Amino acid sequence: MTQTYLNYDAISNDYDQRYPSTQHWERGDALLNLARQVKAKTILEVGSGTGFWLNLLHQCTPNLYGVDFSAGMIAQAQNQPAPLKLSRGTATQLPYQSGTFDLVYCVDAIHHFGDHHAFIAEAFRILKPRGVLAIIGHDPHSGEGNWYIYDYFDSVHETDLMRYPSSAIIKNSMRQEGFADIELRNVEHILNIHVGEGVLNDPFIKHNATSQLALLSEETYLSGIEKIKADLRKSRNKQILFKSDFWVKMLTGIKP
């Protein structure tokens, strides 16, 4: 059976390697612009991880809350410059009173929540009237673009199709729970092309950098690395390209 649960405590110390300081994150810009647009005074990130995105929002408000199931991730988030109010909990039973937040969001996390519909119901409960829910991430069901990780590592694409709800399913859940003005838009175009052996320096190819690869056994992970190296050997003097080309999307809805 394919493993779909990841122990984030085990990788929390190295998790921020996926956020190199040289890279500009358009999804962060979209989140910051949304917080400013709705004049959010109280903000909650569900699946807050190391607090990378919450720290960005300190430009808008000091009232920044994060909830994560991983104690290791919470420990890392406590090192962020912004003073974050962190709790351990699950996305399907959020430990907050109804009508607390102006903005609730998650980034690259809804596929970890198990029951995504229960999370959306909880988000609706804890939002104030006119509060906004934002769900940010990529949709492997869309068929748009490609990611070389899917080509070289066995079962990764199939596992993502099982873990991720499609954008259409999320929109339907938001509609059922009562959200209005639901909007889906592209917020970041991931386009990274690694030439030849340069792919081995991609921070996202490390075993513990993404849930996609961290879920793999050591044997399966090393088998994927060997497939890449085999193609590099076969290419000889030709420049082989390894492409990451897909869109990160943001779904938003307003609580009437």
Q: What is the pLDDT of residue 132?
A: 98
Report the C-alpha gap between 165 and 152 in whole angstroms: 23
Q: What is the pLDDT of residue 2?
A: 46
Arithmetic mean of pLDDT over the chain: 92
Q: Note the residue count of the chain.
A: 256
Nearest Cα to Cα of residue 31 among 3, 59, 67: 59
Lowest mean pLDDT among 2-6, 125-129, 135-139: 2-6
Give me the mean pLDDT over the 142-155 stretch.
Answer: 93
Confidence of residue 87 (pLDDT cuts 50, 70, 90): very high
| Residue pLDDT, tens place only, 193-236 | 999 999 999 988 999 888 899 899 999 999 999 999 999 999 87
| Residue pLDDT, tens place only, 4-38 | 556 776 766 777 667 766 678 899 999 999 999 99
**Percentage of residues of the chain with pLDDT beyond 70:** 95
Report the C-alpha gap between 102 and 132 in whole angstroms: 6
200 residue type, one letter: L
CB count, 10 Å around CB of 241? Answer: 13
Confidence of residue 191 (pLDDT cuts 50, 70, 90): very high
Chain centroid offset of residue 227 CA: 27
* Structural domains for the chain: 8-254 (3.40.50.150)
Cα dihedral value 40, 44, 49, 50, nearest 10: 50
159 residue type, one letter: T
Q: What is the pLDDT of residue 98?
A: 98
